[in-house]
Amino acid sequence: MSDRSAVLHVKGRVLVGPDDARDELWVVGGKVTYDRPATARDVRTVEGWALPGLVDAHCHVGLGPHGAVPDEESEKQALADRETGTLLLRDAGSPADTRWVDDREDLPKIIRAGRHIARTRRYIRGFAHEIEPADLVAYVAREARRGDGWVKLVGDWIDRATGDLAACWPREAVEAAIAEAHRLGARVTAHCFAEDSLRDLVEAGIDCVEHATGLTEDTIPLFAERGVAIVPTLVNIATFPRLAAGGDDKFPRWSAHMRRLHERRYDTVRAAYDAGIPVFVGTDAGGTLPHGLVAAEVAELVTAGLPPVEALSATTWGARAWLGRPGLEEGAPADLVVYGQDPRADVRVLAAPDRVVLNGRVH
Q: Which residues pair with 7 in a beta bridge?
A: 28, 43
What is the distance in angstroms between the CA of the first residue and the CA of the last residue of the chain?
8
- Average pLDDT of the segment spanning 144-163: 96
Distance CA 288, CA 217 (A): 31
Select the more confidently predicted residue: 19 or 132: 132
State percent of the chain over pLDDT 70.
98
How do residues 320-359 score in pLDDT, each as one tens digit?
999 999 999 999 999 999 999 999 999 999 999 999 999 9
State percent of the chain over pLDDT 90.
96
**How confident is the model at residue 43, as a pLDDT?**
83
- Average pLDDT of the segment spanning 196-215: 98
> How much helix, strand and coil, in percent to the nearest 5, is found in the chain?
35, 30, 40
Question: Pairing state of beta strands 117-119 and 156-159?
Answer: unpaired
How do residues 94-131 score in pLDDT, each as one tens digit?
999 999 999 999 999 999 999 999 999 999 999 999 99
The average confidence (pLDDT) of the chain is: 96
Q: How confident is the model at residue 6 (pLDDT cuts 50, 70, 90)?
A: confident
CA atoms within 13 A on the CB side of 281: 32
- Average pLDDT of the segment spanning 229-256: 97
**How confident is the model at residue 5, as a pLDDT?**
59
DSSP reduced 3-state for 92: coil
Q: Do the beta carbons of residue 213 and residue 237 sit within 8 Å?
A: yes
- Average pLDDT of the segment spanning 74-87: 98
Distance CA 116, CA 113 (A): 8
Distance CA 337, CA 363 (A): 10
Tell me whether the CATH fold assigned to 7-51+327-362 matches the one assigned to 54-323: no
Q: Helices (H) and strands (E) in the chain — how many of each? A: 12, 20
Distance CA 194, CA 179 (A): 23
* Claim: this prediction has a pTM higher than 0.75: yes
pLDDT greater than 70 at residue 2? no
Q: Is 62 left (phi over 0), alpha (psi -120 to 50) or beta?
A: left
- Average pLDDT of the segment spanning 69-94: 98
pLDDT greater than 80 at residue 3? no
CA atoms within 13 A on the CB side of 104: 16
Q: How confident is the model at residue 38 (pLDDT cuts 50, 70, 90)?
A: confident
* CATH level 2 (architecture), domain 54-323: Alpha-Beta Barrel (3.20)
**How confident is the model at residue 261, as a pLDDT?**
98
Q: How confident is the model at residue 1 (pLDDT cuts 50, 70, 90)?
A: very low
Where helices occur in 54-161 by DSSP H, the ranges are: 71-83, 136-146
Residues counted in the chain? 363
Q: Where are the domains of the chain?
A: 7-51+327-362, 54-323
**How confident is the model at residue 247, as a pLDDT?**
95
**How confident is the model at residue 4, as a pLDDT?**
52
* CATH level 2 (architecture), domain 7-51+327-362: Roll (2.30)
Q: Is the Cα dihedral 339, 340, 341, 346 positive or negative? A: negative
